[in-house]
Amino acid sequence: MRRASHQLTSLSSSNRAFLRHNFLHTSLRNIFGLATFRRTLTRALVASLLSITLPIAATNLAVAAGSDDPKTFLLPAFNGQNGANGVGVIFDDSQAALSYASGLGDTNINSNPDGTQASGAKLYCKNLQDPACSKTTNFSVFAILQPCKSESDLFCIQEVYAKTPNGKVTGKFVENLPAAGPTDFTGDSSLGLPTGGPPSIWQIPGIKNSSGGDSYTLFVSTRGKGQRASATSTPTFQFNEYTVALYATSSKSGSYQLVTADGNGLDAIVGGGCATNSESKCALRESFPTDGTAFGVSIRFPKAPSNWFYGRLSKPSFTLNKSNSGSSVVLDVSGEPVTVPVLFGKSSWGSLSPALQKYYQGGFPSVGKMYGVSDPNQWDVAHLASSKDFDVLKGWIPIVKDTAAALTTQWYFKASNEGSDPRFASRDDQVDGIVTSNATAYVPGPPTFNQQTQSLEYQVGAPHLTPSGATFRGTYDLTIRADAARAIYGFAKNVPVKATVSIVSENGQEIAAQEQVGEKDGWFFLRAENFTFSSPKLRVKLTQSAGGTNSGNNQGSNNQSGGNQNGNNQGNYADTVKCDGTGKCCDASGKCTTGNPVGNNNSGGSKNAAGVKTYVLKCSAKGGKTWVARGVNPKCPKGYKQVSKKLEK
């Protein structure tokens, strides 16, 4: 029996909308009758971490409860009509790319001053010359990229493929679904504005998914903004979020609503299990093959969209090369899908821990009966948790008996500007690394360097048990440029580097992980697997044999390798920040700051000395770069401005 929208028959078509929090826009919308979407109050999570991989969901509602067969998880109704009131939570980012249609909007009209979505009529532009937008000076952009049609096209999908033991299988573009979106727009590559259209359907001949078919749906999207001084001046655009998500799908006929640019019309996505749909056709999400088949996507950009990537892939491989025309770059990423546990639970308000109650009283993204209801005991609401909400995950783990509600297969990665690091002079034609995992919760960014332990660390979290009660086994993959890793540690350039991977449990116990480590073509490849949850920290330590330098305080030589012209190998990391054990960090010019940098930089792992107050300082710079420092009196590096300063707990 297929997944179908009749599984939620207690809801009307308009009431099944499933709204999602995203990094740039938050809105209050009515759904599920008396439902609202409320913005999560961002909680700073200052922790040392490594990276992780996200798979994409799909399968069959016929899968029995308690089965470990992958499936698409559909959120039950939270409308005050289907049983006892309570607060629920869902950790499932398999639909993270599915919430919006392409749109080039007027920010001043479409959004309130606080960033929430305005309730009035929206204004979207067909292009920059659209008379309706002649007075627009601030643009919001969400573009789903389209297949390339010529060698000169930019911001486009060049290829979709699969890799099997028998070789590479190239995909064929079939159609857009829907054929046209309600707010599609034509971009201008000369200004860095991509064209935004509908998602694309591809056939990969002979690569069967769980439906028995070989159809796959691809989302390659970017979100950003544009500004111009006046209605007659030329706008400039900046993008800080790129998402690439591939879904195994099959075709199903029916009656559906279209997803809109402001995030409405998601009935078919949440209630019906579609990846995308027209008004009469659904690309129904299925499960990926888990037989070792890898999937890949090649995308053409004017320059590298980011230097760091994270997501849900297994055994990832990627290159960034000049296009045939030489005027752009082609990012190629491939890897196997991963199976990710979905956490879902519901509890009465009184049974929640004080920590969870405090969190939920502060506001959170949700669907259900909550809007205008002051007494939380009368709420019937589901929290749409972010994959980086570790504290929330820990609070719910005992409620759900440390057991996943379902397993989903995913193939997904995102560009992360959280990987920006003032220690490295990353270029527009290079990628520094990618981290992936199959955990429910993970940090969206690269691993961080712990100055105290001299190791790269990454936090992950997931239920300990699968739906059947078996132990869930984690995977983690890190691919990092060899010269970047050597710069972090101060290693000599031509001396081999070894790595060990260990798992640090919540009680501090450290055990060796089953690992695979290697270096090839200017890259380090690290893989840890078969570790268990609920919330371990992955720790990777690199060492160098005699002849190299590793003084424990990053006082080694700076690497100056320029790399090849394709940007596919080593880059220039001469501008390295070096830190000593006291928290003093100096760049190559001799300028210094105090406080052990954390986040994207070096992080002190030791506990505060008794009676000494240390602070966590967050700084930012142009281009979305971030720097976090810890110390008694931490300072922002040159070119960075202070965002926040908090007393460390």
27 and 158 belong to one structural domain: no
- Is residue 167 assigned to a domain? yes
167 and 77 belong to one structural domain: no
Q: What is the pLDDT of residue 489?
A: 64
Asked if pLDDT for residue 463 goes beyond 50, the answer is yes
Q: 456 or 596: whose pLDDT is higher?
A: 456
Q: What is the pLDDT of residue 635?
A: 79
Quick one: average pLDDT of 289-309? 90
Q: 621 or 300: whose pLDDT is higher?
A: 300
Asked if pLDDT for residue 483 goes beyond 90, the answer is no
**What DSSP character marks residue 191?**
G
Q: What is the pLDDT of residue 546?
A: 55
Residue 102 near residue 184, CB atoms below 8 Å? yes
Burial 544-567 (b: 16+ CB within 10 A, else e): beeebebeebbebebbebebeeeb
% pLDDT > 70, the chain? 71
64 and 173 belong to one structural domain: no
277 and 208 belong to one structural domain: yes
Asked if pLDDT for residue 42 goes beyond 90, the answer is no
333 and 390 belong to one structural domain: no
Residue 178: cis peptide before it, omega within 30 degrees of 0 = yes
Asked if pLDDT for residue 302 goes beyond 50, the answer is yes
**How far is it, in rounded angstroms, from Cα 456 to Cα 539?**
6
Q: What is the pLDDT of residue 409?
A: 95
- Is residue 397 assigned to a domain? yes
Ranking 432-436, 449-453, 464-468, 524-528 by mean pLDDT, the lowest is 449-453
Quick one: average pLDDT of 104-126? 88
Asked if pLDDT for residue 40 goes beyond 60, the answer is no
Of 410, 433, 467, the residue at which a domain comes to its end is: 410
Read off the pLDDT of residues 555-612 as tens digits, 9 standing for 90 and up: 333 333 333 333 332 222 223 334 444 444 444 445 454 433 333 333 333 333 345 5
Read off the pLDDT of residues 76-108 as tens digits, 9 standing for 90 and up: 778 766 667 899 999 987 776 788 899 999 999
- Is residue 130 assigned to a domain? yes
Please report, for the chain, how many H helices and E strands are present, in that order: 5, 38
Quick one: average pLDDT of 2-10? 29
The total number of structural domains in the chain stands at 3
Q: What is the pLDDT of residue 6?
A: 27
Asked if pLDDT for residue 291 goes beyond 90, the answer is yes
Domain range holding 49? 14-95+343-410
Mean pLDDT of the chain: 75
Please name the amino acid found at residue 212.
G
- Is residue 293 assigned to a domain? yes
Please name the amino acid found at residue 21.
H
Confidence of residue 513 (pLDDT cuts 50, 70, 90): low
Asked if pLDDT for residue 63 goes beyond 80, the answer is no
173 and 285 belong to one structural domain: yes
% pLDDT > 90, the chain? 38
- Is residue 7 assigned to a domain? no
178 and 247 belong to one structural domain: yes
**How far is it, in rounded angstroms, from Cα 647 to Cα 645?**
7
Quick one: average pLDDT of 271-295? 94
Asked if pLDDT for residue 141 goes beyond 90, the answer is yes
Asked if pLDDT for residue 244 goes beyond 90, the answer is yes
pTM of the model: 0.73
- Is residue 396 assigned to a domain? yes
Q: What is the pLDDT of residue 156?
A: 96
364 and 384 belong to one structural domain: yes
Q: What is the pLDDT of residue 595?
A: 37
Of 308, 338, 368, the residue at which a domain comes to its end is: 338
Q: What is the pLDDT of residue 605?
A: 34
162 and 53 belong to one structural domain: no
Q: What is the pLDDT of residue 357?
A: 95
Quick one: average pLDDT of 107-125? 86
SS3 sequence of 103-160: EEEEHHHHECCCCEECCCCCCECCCCCCHHHCCCCEEEEEEECEECCCCCCCCEEEEE
**How far is it, in rounded angstroms, from Cα 97 to Cα 95?**
6
- Is residue 165 assigned to a domain? yes
375 and 278 belong to one structural domain: no
